[in-house]
Amino acid sequence: MKAQTISMKPQDILLLLKIISMEDENWNQKPTAEALNMSQSEVSESVARSKYAGLLGPKGKKVMRLALMDFLEKGIRYVFPQHPGAVVRGMPTSHSAPPLNQEIQSTEHYVWPSGKGSVRGHGIAPIYPSVVEAALNDTKLYELLALVDALRVGRARERAIATKELRKRIIGSNENSIDYNF
C-alpha cells in the first residue's frame, strides 16, 4: 500500500493568518471561506492539513501559535519562495506596507499586482490568488500577510524586523508560555 503524502499549501498559511486576525476560536468555515474568497471545501481541506502538520489544534479551531511562528520564521521562505518581478501597479506588501513601512524607508517598492492598487513597484506574487481581496477587507490580515511577505522576499534586516513584529502579533507579549490546552 502506498503511503499518502500530506503537504502544506499556500492557502493554509492564508487561513491560519485569517484565524489569528479574527481573534475568535469559535470561527466557522463558511463565513471564513467567503472572507478569503475560497470554497468551503478548500477551507475544510486546509484545516485537515494544518491539523496534520500541528499548526491547528485537534478540534481544528485553535492556531498553535508557537508552531506557526516557528514555521514562518524558519521555513516560509523555503517552502513558498518568491523573488521580486517586473515593475507593476498593485497593492503594497513586505516593507512597502504597514507596519514595516513605518520602520523601513526605501525607494524600492514591492506590490501584489492588482488593478485595485495605486502603487508602482516590483511585483510579488501573493501567497494565494485571493490575498488582495481578503486583505482589502481585513486590515489585521493585510498586515500579517505583508509581514510574511517580508520573510519570503526580504533581506536580513527586513526579515529580522518582520520576525519581531510577527512574534508580537502571533504569540503576544507572553511568548515564553506554552499553551498545551487544546
53 confidence band (pLDDT: 50, 70, 90) = very high
Helix runs in the chain, H state only? 10-22, 29-35, 40-53, 65-74, 76-79, 131-136, 139-153, 156-170
Residue 2, pLDDT > 70, answer: no
Model pTM?
0.91
Residue 6, pLDDT > 90, answer: no
Can you give the pLDDT at residue 175? Answer: 43
160 confidence band (pLDDT: 50, 70, 90) = very high
Residue 135, pLDDT > 90, answer: yes
Can you give the pLDDT at residue 96? Answer: 96
